[in-house]
Structure 1
Amino acid sequence: MSEASSPVKLERRGHVGVLVLDRPDRRNALSRDALFAIGRLGRELVADPEIRAIVITGAGDKAFCAGADLKERQGMSTDDVRVQVGLYRSELGVLDRSPKPVIAALNGVAFGGGLELALICDLRVAAPHAELSLPETTLGIIPGAGGTQRLPRVVGEARAKEMILLGRRLDAQQALAWGLVNRVSPEGVSVLDDTLTWIEPIANGAPIAQAAALKAIEDSFEVPLELGLELERTRYDETLRSEDRLEALRAFAEKRKPVYQGK
């Protein structure tokens, strides 16, 4: 598949790699080709030493991602669907396992698999008109790309059950109040541009420290406090051995901004 025909576009904005779901005619739905493209481009960005953060967004201003491509699903057997659900784990899992922070810029609706894609990300920024929902139980299924597992970890069990069992749809401000998104962009401002400005501390930050902090949080999320503290100590030690830490000390002494090299 040529880059021009790919359902996902890759842009580089300085130290940030931007993945754009580019199927506006299908509300940026997740086809099989789109899943493979996310996996391929995600691996490329994770391996790129110049990239310090990954942003994923959708083309247009109506949909971040409306979920699975139901038109494509109509021609699938039950076993085909099982294979497709497996691709959510293998291909979107590239972003889930990324040592670099991943941020969703929700430029419109994020329904079903689209919200599950956003939940894989470390941070979420929503346009004021964005809407978020996991409507699967109203369609006779359940969220199958991690929604039943990740949503409770973000908003809590009770609110996750409310969203999933009632198929409840949240607007951007409700999602912010629930902690489902971290930020709502101002009216009239591109959510992608706002996101890139907001994450400048990551893009210009110390990549070794960023990765170590993410790993420490993720490793200790469901372990006893004592083990979590030991895991944190191990990750902290990684930063002590970095050139970036010495650069931070020099910059502080010289009263300037540090220039991190990820070394």
Structure 2
Amino acid sequence: MTQDNILLVEERGQTAILTLNRPQAQNAISKALAETLESTLRGIAKRKDIRVVIITGAGEKAFSAGTDLKERRDLSADGKWEQAGALRKANDVIWNLPQPVIAAIQGWCLGGGYEIALNCDIRIASRTAVFSWPEMQLGAYPGGTAGVMFPRLIGRARAKELFFTARKVKAEEAFDLGIVERVTEPGEHLATALALAEEIIANSSPLGCAAVKQMVNLGSDMSVGEAHALNDLLRRPLEGTKDYEEGIQAFFEKRRPVWRGE
């Protein structure tokens, strides 16, 4: 557990589960929670024994209801910007983390919480999940990277429609729009995320996973020529790794490889 237990950390084998733990506030993102999430993820990034990260929310009502408005209410303009900046920094770490990150979502997934989910690699939602951008009704727009990430995920026109109207999107529509990759029955979102984490661990090497995550994240917004150059930059070093040698040897020996991250 971390500072004041606002973020719970549990390790199950090679998977780390990070739980936003402010259920009394529907897991709203305070500056302290964003900073704790960032520092925890920076520590995980250095660990070879953690292969997958799952981010979820405590309780049944919310993954996260967004930025903590009670905290924000009395902040100056600079203070509001610092609070938003803490979330942007945490999201940047999620996006760049070498390990795959899965969001396991239940209930409300709003504003800043929605932005955390967008920066994860894969999103799994319970049928209870509801997504929206309430910032649009408060005189601003979501500032924790949604304006950058959302159109990249679902396209510019669809992103604009959902920003402009701030309408609520339920899990099934979120799946149809490509916001989430899987929809589960109520209460099964975390178990489904854990099963997916085990599938990732069993079927991909840590170095290969980290490299292809970076390739997809960066290459999708490059020209074809630039993307090919990045592909060569990321792919070529894998040829000489001990893990690649192990993977090929394991293939011929008809066994599962033992990855070392080297």
- Structure 2 unaligned blocks of 5 or more: none
The aligned runs of 1:163-182 (5 Å cut-off) are: 163-182=162-181
- Structure 1 unaligned blocks of 5 or more: none
| CA deviation vs aligned residue, 1:50-99 (integer Å, no higher than 9, x gap) | 11111110001110000011111122122210111111222332212212
Distance 2:250 2:47 in 1: 26
- Do 1:106 and 1:124's aligned partners in 2 also have CA atoms closer than 8 Å? yes
User: For the structure 1 residues 56 and 157, does the alpha-carbon distance in structure 2 shift closer, same or farther, using more than 3 Å as the test?
Assistant: same
Give the CA RMSD over aligned residues.
1.5
What's 1:63 paired with? 62
What's 1:213 paired with? 212
Q: What is the TM-score when the length of structure 2 is the normalising length?
A: 0.95
| CA deviation vs aligned residue, 1:75-134 (integer Å, no higher than 9, x gap) | 212221011111122233221221211111112211011101111111111011101111
1:203 deviates by: 2.5
Distance 1:250 1:159 in 2: 47
Matched letter for residue 146 of structure 2: G
Matched letter for residue 190 of structure 2: L
1:43 deviates by: 1.0
| CA deviation vs aligned residue, 1:3-46 (integer Å, no higher than 9, x gap) | 37221111111111111000101000001110111011111111
What's 2:88 paired with? 89
Matched letter for residue 193 of structure 1: A
1:201 deviates by: 2.8
Distance 2:186 2:115 in 1: 26
User: For the structure 1 residues 156 and 12, does the alpha-carbon distance in structure 2 shift closer, same or farther, using more than 3 Å as the test?
Assistant: same
Matched, 1:198 2:200: no
After TM superposition, which residue ranges in structure 1, 4 or more long, deviate above 4 angstroms? none
1:218 deviates by: 2.2
Matched, 1:13 2:12: yes
Matched letter for residue 158 of structure 2: R
Aligned length: 261
- Do 1:20 and 1:56's aligned partners in 2 also have CA atoms closer than 8 Å? yes
What's 1:246 paired with? 245
The percentage of aligned residue pairs carrying the same residue is 36
Matched letter for residue 7 of structure 2: V
1:259 deviates by: 2.0
1:138 deviates by: 1.7
Q: What is the TM-score when the length of structure 1 is the normalising length?
A: 0.94
SS for the counterpart of 2:248 is helix
User: For the structure 1 residues 188 and 127, does the alpha-carbon distance in structure 2 shift closer, same or farther, using more than 3 Å as the test?
Assistant: closer
